[in-house]
Amino acid sequence: MKAERGITSKAALWALATACAGILATGTGAAHGIAGKRFFPATLATDDPFVADELSLPTIASQKTSASGEEPATRETGFSVDVSKRVTDNLGIGFGATYKVLQLEGGPTQRGFDNLAASVKYKFYQSDECETILSAGVDWDIGGSGSRRVGAESFSTLTPALFFGKGFGDLPDPMTLLRPFAVTGLIGLGIPTRSGTTLVSDEGDISVERHPHTLQWGFAVEYSVPYLQSSVRDVGLREPFNQMIPVVEFAMSTALDRGASGTAGTVNPGVIWAGRYAQLAVEVVIPVNNRSGNRVGWIAQLHFFLDDIFPTTIGRPIFGR
């Protein structure tokens, strides 16, 4: 039975690969996330500052945690879809959903959707000359919309945030080889709509789980080979290497109050391959401390540029040009 399921999954994977090949095997070039001559790819662990028409389908993340106390070792795998849509050139909305699978070692497997997410983002500054972009937005983790079996919270969390992106194409001549570097990132405040949740154990013991405000912060450092080849020096790299963007992401959360403190997060080195209509990305997920986990995981994403795939229909802003 297990083997049969494996074969079917392989067939489905081949079908998926074939279906997507036309989108991916399209050679050079890229799409949204452009400031001047800089193309910023979509990042996986930290939201980028761009307002764009894009679809991440899927993002797959997997990480195993070691056993701790009465908690068994667990492998958590998430399958996510995220879609962003421009309302105007500078205002966008987004929605996201994640299906989680929790495989408890020696125990049952739990499956279900995590809370749905919605967001709005406004780009209020862009300098093409300085390859700089700034935007502000709010993310809404919709409490109670997911399954408690996989740990979805019953309360919502609102996260207003500032997003930034900066390319270093304006570095002086002696530093030309550093010009392909760029950084994107965000800083936000996670505001839970409930300060705590009362828990009652099977034995009737009552406890209160407190939900602190959190500082959500992170950034991505990337080195764009396409930028190197088209603006600094053609070093002769050809496909697929001329479309690769090595990246290291830092995704952090710092508890601020309600008896909690400390920072948790991950450092994710990886590589993004950007084509004309889609990008592929793979990153290793490394916890920064014990609070963040104790095993290395991975995350992979297939991301479509809807503004390039459907330039005259759903890839355009709802209002405006």
Instruction: Choose the binding region for other proteins from 89-97, 192-200, 245-253, 300-308 (rule: CB under 8 A).
Output: 300-308
- Cβ distance 215 to 253 under 8 Å? yes
- Cβ distance 246 to 271 under 8 Å? yes
Rule CB under 8 A: say whether 127 interacts with other proteins: no
The pair of structure tokens assigned to 173 is: 């001549």
CB of 12 or CB of 208, closer to other proteins: 12
Rule CB under 8 A: say whether 113 interacts with other proteins: no
Rule CB under 8 A: say whether 304 interacts with other proteins: yes
For residue 310, which of 278, 271, 262 has the smallest C-alpha distance? 278
| Site string (155-184) toward other proteins, x via CB under 8 A | ---------------------x--------
Rule CB under 8 A: say whether 317 interacts with other proteins: no
Dihedral sign computed on CA atoms, order 302, 248, 133, 225: negative
Rule CB under 8 A: say whether 37 interacts with other proteins: yes
Among 71, 89, 105, 128, binds other proteins (CB under 8 A): 128
| CB contact set of 144 (below 8 Å; sequence gap of 6+) | 115, 152, 153, 154, 155, 156
The values of phi and psi at residue 273, to 5°, are -110, 120
269: enclosing H helix or E strand: strand 263-274
CB of 30 or CB of 133, closer to other proteins: 30
Among 99, 140, 250, 298, binds other proteins (CB under 8 A): 99
The pair of structure tokens assigned to 314 is: 């759903």
Identify residues 215-274 at the interface with other proteins (CB under 8 A).
226, 229-234
CB of 77 or CB of 254, closer to other proteins: 77
Query: Could you give the dihedral angle defined by the CA atoms of residues 181, 61, 303 and 132, in that order, rounded to the nearest 10 degrees?
Result: -30
Rule CB under 8 A: say whether 291 interacts with other proteins: no
As a whole number of angstroms, the distance between CA 223 and CA 177 comes to 10
Q: How far is the CB of 129 from other proteins (least distance, A)?
A: 11
Q: How far is the CB of 27 from other proteins (least distance, A)?
A: 7
The pair of structure tokens assigned to 270 is: 């990886």
Rule CB under 8 A: say whether 85 interacts with other proteins: no
Q: How far is the CB of 153 from other proteins (least distance, A)?
A: 23
The shares of helix, strand and coil residues in the chain, as percent rounded to the nearest 5, are: 15, 50, 35
List residues binding other proteins (CB under 8 A): 5, 8-9, 12-13, 15-16, 19-20, 22-23, 26-31, 34, 36-37, 39, 57-58, 79, 99, 128, 176, 226, 229-234, 276-277, 304-305, 307-312
